[in-house]
Amino acid sequence: MAAAKLVVWDAPVRIVHWSFVALLPALWWTAETRQMDLHFTLGLTMLGLVTFRLVWGVVGSGTARFSRFVAGPKAIARYLKSAPDNANPVVGHNPLGALSVVALLALLTAQVSLGLFAQDTDAVDSGPLNHLVSWDTATAASEAHGIVFNVLAALIILHVAAIVFYRIVRKNDLVTPMISGRRTFASPVAQPVLASWAKAAGVAAIAVAVAVWISFGVPPWGAKFPWDETAPAEDVPSVDSYM
């Protein structure tokens, strides 16, 4: 095996990642400015992306799979004691970075889930699953939706700080591979397995179906599919109009 430029991040991982980066500030802004219709649309898009990434973490390309990068404390300690990255390259997430990846995905999942049950003070703007929980639970979900956002924001600052640290101190550019997918390795390493576009399309279809179903309020549990809704009553002329 010769030194080579390999695809370390497949297109789905990169598209989902940069969509997170674009969507999160937009979600914050639409909540701050009370543009709730747009907030719900962007939130459901986020739900679809998170669902995609979680399923892709089980069936996707080698470097996307949780089973390949989630590591225990021993592996993290070994990684911390090892030589700098360029001399001892890790293809995909290193054991320490994997911690932040898991935490970011867990917090994004929590944040999206809480939003589905949340409501504002007069319950006018409610998430699509709000009807499944009590007033108190919805109020708690709304409060937690605000708190988890702050934790997420703090973790993202740490995430970006870690990337800057790798660039400056460990001379390892992590951003270019997250854009182009490719990374050059000085020492020989094997190309990770890449999942097919057909598989990505299948997982995307599942993610869209889940997001749409949830946006309807998870019928038949307490909500109806749009096509089962009773049509609004026709304009029946009042008795007075005949007189």
- The site for ligand HEM (CB under 6 A) is made up of 13, 17, 20-21, 24, 53, 64, 93, 97, 101, 104-105, 156, 159-160, 163, 174-175, 178
Nearest CA to 56 out of 5, 9, 3, 123 is that of: 9
Q: How far apart are CA 48 and CA 28, in angstroms?
A: 18
Provide, rounded to whole angstroms, the least separation between the CB of residue 236 and ligand HEM: 52
**Residue whose CB is less far from ligand HEM, 31 or 174:** 174
Nearest CA to 116 out of 131, 134, 102 is that of: 131
Provide, rounded to whole angstroms, the least separation between the CB of residue 18 and ligand HEM: 8
CB atoms within 10 A of CB 32: 9
In terms of C-beta density within 10 A (0-12 exposed, 13-18 middle, 19 or more buried), how is residue 10 classed? Answer: buried
Strand, helix or coil for residue 119: strand
Strand partners, 119: 126
Provide, rounded to whole angstroms, the least separation between the CB of residue 208 and ligand HEM: 18
Strand partners, 7: 182
**Residue whose CB is less far from ligand HEM, 44 or 138:** 44
Structure-block tokens of residue 63: 């470097």
Provide, rounded to whole angstroms, the least separation between the CB of residue 16 and ligand HEM: 6
Provide, rounded to whole angstroms, the least separation between the CB of residue 238 and ligand HEM: 55
**Residue whose CB is less far from ligand HEM, 54 or 218:** 54
**Residue whose CB is less far from ligand HEM, 27 or 214:** 27
**Residue whose CB is less far from ligand HEM, 64 or 200:** 64
Provide, rounded to whole angstroms, the least separation between the CB of residue 174 and ligand HEM: 4
Longest distance between any two alpha carbons in the chain, whole Å? 94
Cβ pair 55, 201 in contact under 8 A: no
Give 130's DSSP letter: G
**Residue whose CB is less far from ligand HEM, 138 or 203:** 203
Element (H, E) at 4: strand 4-7
